[in-house]
Amino acid sequence: MLQCIFLLSDSGEVMLEKQLTGHRVDRSICDWFWDHVISQGDSLKSQPVIASPTHYLFQVVREGITFLACTQVEMPPLMGIEFLCRVSDVLSDYLGGLNEDVIKDNFVIVYELLDEMIDNGFPLTTEPNILREMIAPPNIVSKVLSVVTGNSSNVSDTLPGATGSCIPWRAADPKYANNEVYVDLVEEMDAVINRDGVLVKCEVYGEVRVNSHLSGLPDLTLSFANPSILDDVRFHPCVRFRPWESHQILSFVPPDGEFKLMSYRVKKLKSTPIYVKPQLSSDAGKCRVNVLVGIRNDHGKTIDSITLQFQLPPCILSADLTSNTGTVNILGNKTCSWSIGRIPKDKTPSLSGTLVLESELERLHVFPTFRVGFKIMGVALSGLQIDKLDLKTAPSRLYKGFRALTRAGEFEVRS
Amino acid sequence: MFPQFGATADTLSKASTMVFRIGTDAHLYDDPDDVSIAPLLDSKFDSEKCEALKRLLALIAQGIDVSNYFPQVVKNVASQSLEVKKLVYLYLLHYAEKRPNEALLSINYFQKDLGDPNPLVRAWALRTMAGIRLHVIAPLVLVAVGKCARDPSVYVRKCAANALPKLHDLRQEEHALAIEEIVGKLLNDHSPAVVGAAAAAFASVCPYNLSLIRRNYRKLCEILPDVEEWGQIALIGILLRYVIASHGLVKESIMFSLQCTESSHSVKDGSDADFGQVKESTDMGGTCDYEFVNMVSRCYIEGPDEYLSRSSYANRESFQLTDEQFTSGKSNDDVKILLYSTSPLLWSNNSAVVLAAAGVHWVMAPKEDVKRIIKPLLFLLRSSNASKYVVLCNIQVFAKAMPSLFAPYYEDFFICSSESYQVKALKLEILSSIATDSSISSIFKEFQDYIRDPDRRFAADTIAAIGLCAQRLPKMAHICVDGLLALTREEFVTKDFGFGDQEAGILTHAILSIKSIIKQDPPSHEKVIIQLVRSLDSIKVPAARAMIIWMVGEYSTLGEIIPRMLNTVLKYLAWCFTSEALETKLQILNTVCKVLVGATEDVWTFKKIFSYLVELAECDLNYDVRDRVRFLKKLQSSNLVSIGQEEGTNDLPEKDLLHVVAECILGRQTRKVKAESFSYRFYLPGSLSQIVLHAAPGYEPLPKPCSLLLDDRNVPEGTSEIKKTVADYSGTDDYGTSSEGSDDESASDYDSQHSVAESSGSGRGDDSEFTSEGNDNADPLIQISDFGNASENQNGVSQSGPANLGELMSDRALESWLDEQSGSSNPGISEQSQVRISSARISLGDVGKRVKPKCYSLLDPATSGNGLKVDYSFSSEISSMSHLLVCIEVFFKNCSSETISEITLVDEDSNRALDAADKAADVNQSSLASSDNVPTLVPMESIASLEPDQTARRILHVRFHHHLLPLKLALYCDGKKLPVKLRPDIGYFVKPLPMDVEVFIDRESRLPGMFEYTRSCAFTDHIEELNKENGDSLFVKDKFLAICESLALKILSNANLCLVSIDMPVAANLDDASGLRLRFSSEILSSSIPCLITITVEGKCSDPLNLSIKVNCEETVFGLNLLNRIANFLVERTLG
């Protein structure tokens, strides 16, 4: 059972504390936490479960905000972590992003949300759609209204009907003039290319995102043309397990609005859409860098917002890098980022320059890893294809839309 | 139209100044107390109340204590506005425990809200009411929860389930049953949402009440997929525990694998045990580390702390899972339905649910089905970074136990540069434990990349992982070593400038890995050692150098080339000795010594090198080096001499001791150390304890298999168990059970011999005389005296004590004390004693009479005695023949219907005994020389015949050769020889040594330190005594006296001691026996060494007392044994 949740800002300030059980946790635990983060460096900052002298701490860091939960007794750590992740998702959904100011500005809503989401240290209502009905998200209309009338209540007077139904993710009976449902395939490509230029690992992590505005209680079925390529899947609670088990058909009553229907993984892909060829040669205290980026095979779609990031090794004193396309920035923490954008038709983008090594060092012995970013609209690189989307008892007019998008995930090129 | 408009004008103007944060609560957070909050709270407008409450909330968020507003806030509970309500509730929950009295004011409103038609209001009221944690209102809350548990709204019922742990948390025993009843009812709810919350409540309220689950197990399994994700986590855990408790483990599961393979394992152990204990399990086509799995499964069931502590006592076998504790997963429906209903949860969106479901399959699923959990687990790695770490921690255990499961998915553990160090380290560890011959090459390619990673700590870990892989897969050892060697030669690591520790760490790890690989099979890596030695000149890191030098010593006799190199190498080492770091210096000394011990040629040179090094090292600045060299010189001195005399033939039979020691210490440790020491702790998959690697509070291992069935079998089972434990208890006691067979004769015998020091004038053991003094209840006399002036006191010069002394005296005792006090005339002494008096002294009059020595059975008429029953008891009589002999009273009784004749008891080796007996008669008792001749058993007068039911008594003089081991005797009767065992009682190896308290204290002070042993134990006999006293209300004995009496009686009945004194605490209250002290004195029969025993009492009269026993005795072993014996019999309950 979680006993307390703290929201900490990047500077270490406790922005918010919410005691969950009768066993109060003093906020001095946060001081302990920061002392140890400072003394042990990043290793503690990235450790999700910490055993402090008095409490066990779960920590999740999102956009500079640290969500810290405390417990003193045995509980599944993933439950604590997953819950904190949900909290951060809900908050960033409500507040349109997460940062110190936005939490402070809306602290009442944060309190009200936390109070609904967890009761006595056990999660109570985490379904975003119900929460939305219970506590209205701040929007420009309500803001203006509150200023004018002075009545700023965002707490709903009635219990959302969904809390009682057996499909808690769906609000009771929404009515829409236009019935529409949109299905997006959002994929992220993870790839590792080793020092020899060999593609070690290439897989796609994808999500099926559905945005549904359907009246009544719609029962949808979604099927894929090639479900066999899916390696692993995870489903939204609305998906019925048995039809998937037997026929690999997604049968579900969708929540209202946007939600993640399923996530999947496709492994062992053979190629990446772009190539990155870094060359580093060092001699006599200098290191020559040359990086080429290009399109490997044409999907017929343009590849957007290509970026390249790498961390200069600590033994490098200075760097002088230029590129023929895009801009190169070297940040204070020796992070170098090269944003290319779109690859021009006429030339191959290249980054070149020299790095000066520390004085005693002849040659470079540690090599940076290049992290690649890109975005391709309109294509799912895994090759997954949606076959059809059916609605039982279809209303007179139903708009269906499909889209696809692929981004780079953990795309790494070692040099 | 806008009634509150006027009031908000202020707010409006403020808001307008902050255009960007318009409509938010920013200004409230930034300056929460820039307006006076109190009047706003009392306002009649909801909006103003809201603002005030928001300001308070902001102050709470910032960690400022605003509990002083509590009374004003509580009033607003009555508000009709839901928003105000919500804010008030938030405030209330935060402070209710601090201000319980004011919080009580709100109860009425909650009661009212509980009847509200709006379910939201009802739910909130219930949540808050249960959350304010007031013991006083617990009954009210219980009623409210009970009512809400029948509420038509699912949400309210769910909140009712959530309220149960809050109630339980108040720890009010009287409600426990009612709470469990509600849990049971809610578990039976038809709505999945309620069942989930009820499962969570069950887990925290009554996790052991598995019979609640039995009622609707099937239904719970079926409803599981529809339960809310958080409830699923709790419910999965409960169902797993229930199935194990009621059906046991599954035969086909991994947890069972040890049972069937233990025998084959031990056979194979010799051949390839050193390579990670990986064995092919032919039936399932997977590899599985059985020893590891066994440990994991035991840890799951017993809890690692229990398991490890037990295994350290080397009785691993005491916990064996029997066949009945296993069930078949194929035929058991309960198991099947659990697995069936949890398997779709592996697709859950909630990673905690996936891990919980995977845990069930890991423990329960048939081996071939376990692989179902692999992909979902690996998929979890793609969720948040935080959960990635937790999942990897769990995978690590799975992978170690069954590497074959994860072996095909090694690519999933390849490392991204963006991951945190902990994740990287875990992945490396998993990779090195799942590497197979087919995957190792790609894994090595990855490792090579990692070595070049800018994170040098990670690179060092990678090198260690390479070493591990090579140990697991001996085929790859050569490739690994080559790679590592190449690494050590690289410029960047061998240079000792620049990157300091990190590069040094890499080199050290590389050498360490090489070292451990070589250890596996030294002969095949001879060349590697040579190469390393050659590179000594370029390697500058001290730790690495030290390790290479160690290898020189360790493998100095290996192969052909190394012995020939030694000469040069040692010379080189001697040459650079002065410039080395400390650890290298120490290692050089060790190595040279080792070489010297094992050397067969060139000994002369080595000797010279050694003496040169000795000279250098003796003048070293560091004292460790100087110490080490002195030690080694001493060790080698003999070796050097013997070598000097006989040129290398140091394996002569007349090797002296030093040489043997030198060989032992410096000789090659060819003993193979086990590849992995299994000191891991395992906790259930998905538990917090598994992550932090210690049992978090509230962690429960799985229930004992089939324990639920055992519990349900009714009473007879239970009683037999109790009987068994009783039997066990007496069985462990060497002295057997006490019997009621002691008779008056022996008691009086004892009495005549025993004298209690400081008898206070009343004739002990002479009841009539005692009572004639006018004490109608035969109470012993109490004397109170100053500690230091006890003798004076005895002479009738009484001392004054603090007036409050009277508190703890019984009336009569107090009177006598007061009488004495009246005679006091010396104010000086009285003042002094005011400070010093801390105890009173008690004498027990008649205790000696009531002493009943314990009777032990020598021969049982039923089993072996042919109807002859022989009992014996130790007598307090002192043998007149020899001080080595102990007197034992033996009672013979004929229980058969026929006459038994010619009964005699002789030493096992009767001839010798008879011989010796003749001598014994005229042996001088005190002569040491003759003491050896004292017979084991002075022959007893044989009993010519014993009629049925006739008894006979004999005194035996026995010499025990050991104070703990039983003596084997032979009993002849009717011409038959029956072997019997006479168990010694160390309590009778002493005789009473009467002395004064002063003498006692004086002697005690002369036996400090190592002659003093203490032990503590619990004492409960007096409780019965006290209860008995209370029962008959004729007179009430002083509690202290009762305790003293029962304690003294217990001790005197079990050991031949002399009661010196009893001190009673004075500055304590009536019920506290702390400070009560009994002193006993004795001397050892055989050696006449005095043995002083002091027992100090601690604790309340009516509770079990904590005794601390102290024995002061010059003979250490005897003293300790006596101490243990006393502690043992004090703990033992007097039976009958």
Gap from A345 CA to chain B (nearest CA, Å): 32
- Residue B864 confidence class, pLDDT cut points 50, 70, 90: low
Per-residue CA distances from B973 to B279, B868, B977 (Å): 62, 9, 7
Q: Which residue of A has its CA nearest to B695?
A: A74
Q: Which residue of B has its CA nearest to A145?
A: B23
Check CB contact under 8 Å for A194 and B420: no
- Residues of A within 8 A of B498 (CB-CB) are 315, 358, 360-361
Q: Which of residues 20-49 of A touch B (CB under 8 A)?
A: 21-22, 24, 27, 42-43, 46-49
pLDDT at A166: 61
Interval B443-472: pLDDT, tens:
888 888 888 888 888 888 888 888 888 888
Alpha carbon distance B299, B847 (integer Å): 53
Average pLDDT value for residue range B947-964: 77
Beta-carbon count within 10 A of B65 CB: 9
- Residues of B within 8 A of A146 (CB-CB) are 23
- Residues of B within 8 A of A245 (CB-CB) are 344
User: 3-state DSSP call for residue B798?
Assistant: coil
Nearest CB to A241; choose among B47, B344, B445: B344
User: For residues B592 and A146, which has the higher predicted lDDT (pLDDT)?
Assistant: B592
pLDDT at B845: 58
- Cα angle B902, B904, B907 (rounded to 5 degrees) comes to 150
Alpha carbon distance B32, B883 (integer Å): 92
Per-residue CA distances from B740 to A204, B53, B712, B724, B852 (Å): 84, 78, 37, 21, 9
Nearest CB to B687; choose among A1, A76, A147: A76
Residue B771 has pLDDT above 80, yes or no: no
Alpha carbon distance B240, B255 (integer Å): 14
User: 3-state DSSP call for residue B424?
Assistant: helix
Residue A164 has pLDDT above 70, yes or no: no
pLDDT at B725: 39
Average pLDDT value for residue range A141-160: 60
pLDDT at B797: 37
Check CB contact under 8 Å for B355 and A78: yes
| CA of residue B958 relative to chain centroid, distance | 42
Alpha carbon distance B1064, B1077 (integer Å): 6
What's the DSSP call for residue B1134?
P
Per-residue CA distances from B269 to B273, B290, B312, B669, B963 (Å): 5, 11, 21, 20, 43
- Residue A372 confidence class, pLDDT cut points 50, 70, 90: very high
Interval B269-284: pLDDT, tens:
333 333 333 333 333 3
Check CB contact under 8 Å for B498 and A315: yes
- Residues of B within 8 A of A366 (CB-CB) are 452-454, 456, 459
Residue A118 has pLDDT above 60, yes or no: yes
- Residues of A within 8 A of B123 (CB-CB) are 159
pLDDT at A262: 92
Check CB contact under 8 Å for B347 and A142: no
What's the DSSP call for residue A254?
P
pLDDT at A82: 92
pLDDT at B662: 66
Query: CA quadruple B90, B91, B92, B95: dihedral positive or negative?
Result: positive
Between A and B, how many CB-CB pairs are < 8 A?
306
- Residues of A within 8 A of B119 (CB-CB) are 159
Alpha carbon distance B678, B397 (integer Å): 12
- Residue B657 confidence class, pLDDT cut points 50, 70, 90: low
Alpha carbon distance A323, A380 (integer Å): 30
pLDDT at B756: 39
Show contacts of B479-483: CB within 8 Å, 24+ apart. B479/B444, B480/B444, B480/B513, B480/B517, B481/B514, B481/B517, B481/B518, B481/B525, B481/B528, B483/B444, B483/B448
Beta-carbon count within 10 A of B913 CB: 19
Nearest CB to A60; choose among B386, B446, B691: B386
Q: What's the length of chain A? A: 415
Check CB contact under 8 Å for A73 and B696: yes
Nearest CB to B26; choose among A16, A105, A241: A105
- Residues of B within 8 A of A59 (CB-CB) are 386
pLDDT at B724: 41
Alpha carbon distance A321, A311 (integer Å): 13
pLDDT at B751: 41
Residue B828 has pLDDT above 60, yes or no: no
User: 3-state DSSP call for residue B416?
Assistant: coil
Gap from A199 CA to chain B (nearest CA, Å): 12
Check CB contact under 8 Å for A43 and B2: no
User: For residues B274 and B59, which has the higher predicted lDDT (pLDDT)?
Assistant: B59
- Residue A87 confidence class, pLDDT cut points 50, 70, 90: very high
Check CB contact under 8 Å for A158 and B445: no
Average pLDDT value for residue range B1028-1054: 70
Residue B267 has pLDDT above 70, yes or no: no
| Residue pair B303/B680 in contact by the 8 Å Cβ criterion | no
pLDDT at B658: 63
Interval B302-360: pLDDT, tens:
766 666 555 544 444 444 556 566 666 667 788 888 888 888 889 988 999 999 999 99
Alpha carbon distance B107, B102 (integer Å): 10
Start-to-end Cα distance in chain B? 91
Q: Which residues contact B556 (CB under 8 A, 6 or more apart)?
A: B562, B563, B566, B591, B594, B595, B598, B599
Check CB contact under 8 Å for B347 and A233: yes
Interval A236-273: pLDDT, tens:
888 888 888 888 899 988 888 888 899 999 988 888 88
Reported pTM: 0.68
Alpha carbon distance B1080, B993 (integer Å): 9
Residue B835 has pLDDT above 60, yes or no: no
Nearest C-alpha neighbor of B1035 from the set B800, B775, B790, B846: B775
Residue A367 has pLDDT above 50, yes or no: yes
pLDDT at B823: 38
- Residues of A within 8 A of B21 (CB-CB) are 105
- Residues of B within 8 A of A111 (CB-CB) are 57, 61, 90
Residue B852 has pLDDT above 80, yes or no: no
Residue A84 has pLDDT above 90, yes or no: yes
Alpha carbon distance A365, B18 (integer Å): 55
In the chain, the amino acid numbered A47 is: Q
pLDDT at A206: 92
A53 touches chain B (CB under 8 A): no
User: For residues B887 and B1093, which has the higher predicted lDDT (pLDDT)?
Assistant: B1093
Check CB contact under 8 Å for A159 and B153: yes
This model of the complex carries an ipTM of 0.92
| CA of residue A248 relative to chain centroid, distance | 26
Residue B748 has pLDDT above 50, yes or no: no
- Residues of A within 8 A of B189 (CB-CB) are none
- Residues of A within 8 A of B454 (CB-CB) are 311, 313-314, 366-368
pLDDT at A205: 92
Check CB contact under 8 Å for B169 and A21: yes
Check CB contact under 8 Å for A367 and B452: yes
| Residue pair B1106/B1094 in contact by the 8 Å Cβ criterion | no
Most confident of A199-213, B55-69, B99-113, B1106-1120: A199-213
A248 touches chain B (CB under 8 A): no
Phi, psi values for residue B161, rounded to 5° = -60, -40
Average pLDDT value for residue range A302-328: 86
Alpha carbon distance B682, B289 (integer Å): 15
Interval B100-112: pLDDT, tens:
777 887 888 888 8
Nearest CB to B159; choose among A119, A244, A315: A119
- To 10 degrees, what angle do helices B623-646 and B582-598 make? 10
